[in-house]
A and B are shown apart, each in its own frame.
Chain A
Amino acid sequence: QKEVEQDPGPLSVPEGAIVSLNCTYSNSAFQYFMWYRQYSRKGPELLMYTYSSGNKEDGRFTAQVDKSSKYISLFIRDSQPSDSATYLCAMKGRTQGGSEKLVFGKGTKLTVNP
Protein backbone atom coordinates (compact mmCIF):
# COMPACT_ATOMS: atom_id res chain seq x y z
CA GLN A 1 0.00 0.00 0.00
CA LYS A 2 1.36 3.40 -0.98
CA GLU A 3 1.94 5.82 1.89
CA VAL A 4 -0.06 8.59 0.17
CA GLU A 5 -2.84 8.14 -2.39
CA GLN A 6 -4.21 10.99 -4.49
CA ASP A 7 -6.51 10.77 -7.49
CA PRO A 8 -4.58 12.31 -10.41
CA GLY A 9 -7.78 13.43 -12.16
CA PRO A 10 -7.94 15.36 -14.40
CA LEU A 11 -10.70 17.39 -12.78
CA SER A 12 -12.58 19.98 -14.82
CA VAL A 13 -15.09 22.40 -13.24
CA PRO A 14 -16.91 25.60 -14.28
CA GLU A 15 -15.82 28.93 -12.87
CA GLY A 16 -17.41 29.61 -9.48
CA ALA A 17 -17.69 25.93 -8.52
CA ILE A 18 -16.56 24.54 -5.18
CA VAL A 19 -13.64 22.19 -5.71
CA SER A 20 -12.81 19.33 -3.38
CA LEU A 21 -9.39 17.68 -3.56
CA ASN A 22 -8.51 14.72 -1.37
CA CYS A 23 -5.70 12.47 -0.23
CA THR A 24 -5.62 9.38 1.91
CA TYR A 25 -2.60 8.02 3.71
CA SER A 26 -1.59 4.88 5.52
CA ASN A 27 1.21 6.04 7.86
CA SER A 28 -0.26 7.07 11.22
CA ALA A 29 3.04 8.79 12.08
CA PHE A 30 2.31 11.64 9.65
CA GLN A 31 1.72 14.81 11.67
CA TYR A 32 2.21 17.72 9.29
CA PHE A 33 0.08 18.16 6.20
CA MET A 34 0.60 20.50 3.28
CA TRP A 35 -1.05 21.40 0.02
CA TYR A 36 1.01 22.72 -2.85
CA ARG A 37 -0.16 24.31 -6.10
CA GLN A 38 2.04 23.82 -9.12
CA TYR A 39 1.52 25.69 -12.35
CA SER A 40 2.87 24.13 -15.53
CA ARG A 41 6.68 24.25 -15.70
CA LYS A 42 6.96 26.05 -12.34
CA GLY A 43 8.00 25.00 -8.86
CA PRO A 44 5.37 23.97 -6.27
CA GLU A 45 3.95 26.83 -4.22
CA LEU A 46 2.94 26.18 -0.61
CA LEU A 47 -0.79 26.90 -0.19
CA MET A 48 -1.74 25.49 3.19
CA TYR A 49 0.09 23.93 6.13
CA THR A 50 -1.73 22.21 8.95
CA TYR A 51 -0.61 20.34 12.01
CA SER A 52 -2.73 17.46 13.27
CA SER A 53 -6.52 17.21 12.88
CA GLY A 54 -8.85 20.10 12.21
CA ASN A 55 -9.64 22.83 9.72
CA LYS A 56 -7.65 25.79 8.49
CA GLU A 57 -9.02 28.54 6.30
CA ASP A 58 -7.15 31.05 4.15
CA GLY A 59 -9.29 33.16 1.85
CA ARG A 60 -11.04 30.87 -0.64
CA PHE A 61 -9.03 27.84 0.52
CA THR A 62 -9.89 25.49 3.40
CA ALA A 63 -7.72 22.56 4.43
CA GLN A 64 -9.15 19.74 6.52
CA VAL A 65 -7.30 16.94 8.26
CA ASP A 66 -9.04 13.90 9.74
CA LYS A 67 -6.34 11.80 11.36
CA SER A 68 -8.79 9.16 12.57
CA SER A 69 -9.72 8.43 8.94
CA LYS A 70 -6.25 9.23 7.56
CA TYR A 71 -7.89 11.62 5.12
CA ILE A 72 -7.06 15.19 4.14
CA SER A 73 -8.95 17.60 1.91
CA LEU A 74 -8.50 20.95 0.24
CA PHE A 75 -11.61 22.95 -0.66
CA ILE A 76 -11.52 25.84 -3.09
CA ARG A 77 -14.57 28.14 -3.02
CA ASP A 78 -15.59 30.33 -5.95
CA SER A 79 -12.98 28.70 -8.16
CA GLN A 80 -11.30 30.89 -10.77
CA PRO A 81 -9.55 30.06 -14.07
CA SER A 82 -6.32 31.16 -12.34
CA ASP A 83 -6.76 28.20 -9.97
CA SER A 84 -6.08 25.85 -12.89
CA ALA A 85 -2.97 23.95 -11.84
CA THR A 86 -1.83 20.66 -10.36
CA TYR A 87 -2.49 20.35 -6.64
CA LEU A 88 -0.15 18.16 -4.63
CA CYS A 89 -0.83 16.97 -1.13
CA ALA A 90 2.24 16.33 0.99
CA MET A 91 2.74 15.07 4.49
CA LYS A 92 5.56 14.65 6.92
CA GLY A 93 6.41 12.39 9.80
CA ARG A 94 8.38 9.21 10.32
CA THR A 95 8.15 7.28 7.05
CA GLN A 96 8.06 3.51 6.73
CA GLY A 97 11.80 3.69 6.03
CA GLY A 98 12.44 5.35 9.42
CA SER A 99 13.47 8.83 8.28
CA GLU A 100 11.40 12.00 8.57
CA LYS A 101 10.77 13.41 5.14
CA LEU A 102 8.05 14.90 3.01
CA VAL A 103 5.96 12.41 1.06
CA PHE A 104 3.95 13.73 -1.89
CA GLY A 105 0.77 12.50 -3.48
CA LYS A 106 0.76 12.13 -7.26
CA GLY A 107 -1.04 15.46 -7.73
CA THR A 108 -4.49 16.28 -9.12
CA LYS A 109 -4.65 18.33 -12.30
CA LEU A 110 -7.47 20.88 -12.01
CA THR A 111 -8.91 22.96 -14.84
CA VAL A 112 -11.41 25.75 -14.09
CA ASN A 113 -13.31 26.72 -17.22
CA PRO A 114 -14.49 30.33 -17.70
Chain B
Amino acid sequence: DTEVTQTPKHLVMGMTNKKSLKCEQHMGHRAMYWYKQKAKKPPELMFVYSYEKLSINESVPSRFSPECPNSSLLNLHLHALQPEDSALYLCASSLRSGGPTGELFFGEGSRLTVL
Protein backbone atom coordinates (compact mmCIF):
# COMPACT_ATOMS: atom_id res chain seq x y z
CA ASP B 1 0.00 0.00 0.00
CA THR B 2 1.15 3.54 -0.80
CA GLU B 3 2.35 5.63 2.12
CA VAL B 4 1.19 8.82 0.48
CA THR B 5 -2.49 9.37 1.23
CA GLN B 6 -4.69 11.59 -0.90
CA THR B 7 -8.24 12.77 -0.24
CA PRO B 8 -10.75 12.85 -1.69
CA LYS B 9 -10.38 10.00 -4.19
CA HIS B 10 -13.04 11.53 -6.42
CA LEU B 11 -14.27 15.11 -6.69
CA VAL B 12 -16.88 16.68 -8.94
CA MET B 13 -17.11 20.46 -8.93
CA GLY B 14 -18.69 23.27 -10.86
CA MET B 15 -16.69 26.06 -12.42
CA THR B 16 -17.64 28.49 -9.64
CA ASN B 17 -16.86 26.17 -6.73
CA LYS B 18 -13.92 26.30 -4.35
CA LYS B 19 -12.52 22.97 -3.23
CA SER B 20 -9.27 21.54 -1.92
CA LEU B 21 -7.26 18.39 -2.47
CA LYS B 22 -5.25 17.05 0.45
CA CYS B 23 -2.13 14.93 0.67
CA GLU B 24 -0.36 13.46 3.68
CA GLN B 25 2.83 11.46 4.16
CA HIS B 26 4.56 10.24 7.31
CA MET B 27 7.80 8.97 5.82
CA GLY B 28 9.82 11.98 6.96
CA HIS B 29 10.15 13.17 3.38
CA ARG B 30 11.01 16.84 2.95
CA ALA B 31 9.98 17.29 -0.67
CA MET B 32 6.37 17.10 -1.87
CA TYR B 33 4.93 17.44 -5.32
CA TRP B 34 1.70 17.97 -7.22
CA TYR B 35 1.32 16.37 -10.64
CA LYS B 36 -1.54 16.44 -13.11
CA GLN B 37 -2.24 13.44 -15.31
CA LYS B 38 -4.61 13.29 -18.26
CA ALA B 39 -5.78 9.98 -19.72
CA LYS B 40 -3.06 8.03 -21.57
CA LYS B 41 -0.45 10.70 -20.79
CA PRO B 42 2.44 10.74 -18.31
CA PRO B 43 2.20 12.85 -15.16
CA GLU B 44 2.98 16.55 -15.62
CA LEU B 45 4.70 18.42 -12.82
CA MET B 46 2.78 21.35 -11.34
CA PHE B 47 4.49 22.32 -8.07
CA VAL B 48 7.40 21.25 -5.87
CA TYR B 49 7.80 22.06 -2.20
CA SER B 50 11.18 21.55 -0.57
CA TYR B 51 11.40 21.96 3.20
CA GLU B 52 7.91 23.50 3.13
CA LYS B 53 8.92 26.22 0.69
CA LEU B 54 7.64 26.40 -2.88
CA SER B 55 10.67 25.70 -5.07
CA ILE B 56 9.12 25.00 -8.46
CA ASN B 57 5.93 26.34 -10.05
CA GLU B 58 5.61 25.08 -13.60
CA SER B 59 3.72 28.19 -14.76
CA VAL B 60 0.49 26.78 -13.38
CA PRO B 61 -2.60 29.06 -13.67
CA SER B 62 -3.48 30.91 -10.47
CA ARG B 63 -6.79 29.03 -10.19
CA PHE B 64 -4.57 26.29 -8.67
CA SER B 65 -3.07 27.38 -5.35
CA PRO B 66 -0.74 25.06 -3.45
CA GLU B 67 -0.11 25.15 0.28
CA CYS B 68 2.29 23.24 2.50
CA PRO B 69 1.20 23.75 6.14
CA ASN B 70 3.93 21.45 7.49
CA SER B 71 6.37 18.83 6.32
CA SER B 72 3.73 16.08 6.26
CA LEU B 73 0.86 17.89 4.55
CA LEU B 74 0.28 19.33 1.12
CA ASN B 75 -2.91 20.95 -0.13
CA LEU B 76 -4.04 22.08 -3.55
CA HIS B 77 -6.75 24.72 -3.47
CA LEU B 78 -9.00 24.88 -6.51
CA HIS B 79 -11.06 27.86 -7.60
CA ALA B 80 -12.87 28.79 -10.83
CA LEU B 81 -11.61 25.73 -12.67
CA GLN B 82 -12.36 24.93 -16.29
CA PRO B 83 -13.66 21.62 -17.71
CA GLU B 84 -10.23 21.05 -19.28
CA ASP B 85 -8.78 20.91 -15.75
CA SER B 86 -10.52 17.56 -15.28
CA ALA B 87 -7.74 15.04 -14.63
CA LEU B 88 -6.11 12.77 -12.07
CA TYR B 89 -4.17 14.91 -9.59
CA LEU B 90 -1.27 13.07 -8.05
CA CYS B 91 0.65 13.94 -4.94
CA ALA B 92 4.15 12.57 -4.47
CA SER B 93 6.93 12.85 -1.93
CA SER B 94 10.66 12.18 -1.82
CA LEU B 95 13.29 12.30 0.90
CA ARG B 96 14.85 15.35 -0.71
CA SER B 97 14.07 17.15 -3.95
CA GLY B 98 17.49 16.68 -5.45
CA GLY B 99 20.35 14.25 -5.55
CA PRO B 100 20.36 10.47 -5.13
CA THR B 101 17.46 10.50 -2.68
CA GLY B 102 15.09 11.90 -5.27
CA GLU B 103 12.96 8.87 -6.03
CA LEU B 104 9.31 9.83 -5.84
CA PHE B 105 6.55 7.93 -4.11
CA PHE B 106 3.08 8.66 -5.42
CA GLY B 107 -0.34 8.59 -3.85
CA GLU B 108 -3.36 6.98 -5.48
CA GLY B 109 -4.51 10.31 -6.87
CA SER B 110 -7.64 12.44 -6.70
CA ARG B 111 -9.80 12.17 -9.80
CA LEU B 112 -11.28 15.59 -10.50
CA THR B 113 -14.20 16.29 -12.80
CA VAL B 114 -15.10 19.91 -13.55
CA LEU B 115 -18.59 20.42 -14.93
Contacts and interface: CB of A to CB of B under 8 A. Distances in A.
A34 interface: yes
Contacts of B56: 99, 101
Contacts of B98: 100
B42 A41 contact: no
B48 interface: yes
A51 B42 CA distance: 22
A106 B38 CA distance: 12
A73 to B, nearest CB: 18
Contacts of A76: none
Given A32-B102, A101-B48, A102-B104, A41 B88 contact: yes
Interface in A28-56: 31-32, 34, 36, 41-46, 49, 51
A43 B6 CA distance: 10
B90 to A, nearest CB: 5
A46 B109 contact: no
Contact of A101 (B2, B45, B88, B109): B45
A34 B103 contact: yes
B100 A51 contact: yes
Interface in B44-66: 45, 48, 56
Nearest to B4: A43
B2 A43 contact: yes
Contacts of B88: 41, 43
B43 interface: yes
B90 A106 contact: no
B27 to A, nearest CB: 12
B102 A43 contact: no
CB-CB nearest 8 A-B residue pairs = A104-B42, A43-B106, A49-B103, A43-B109, A43-B108, A44-B106, A100-B98, A92-B102
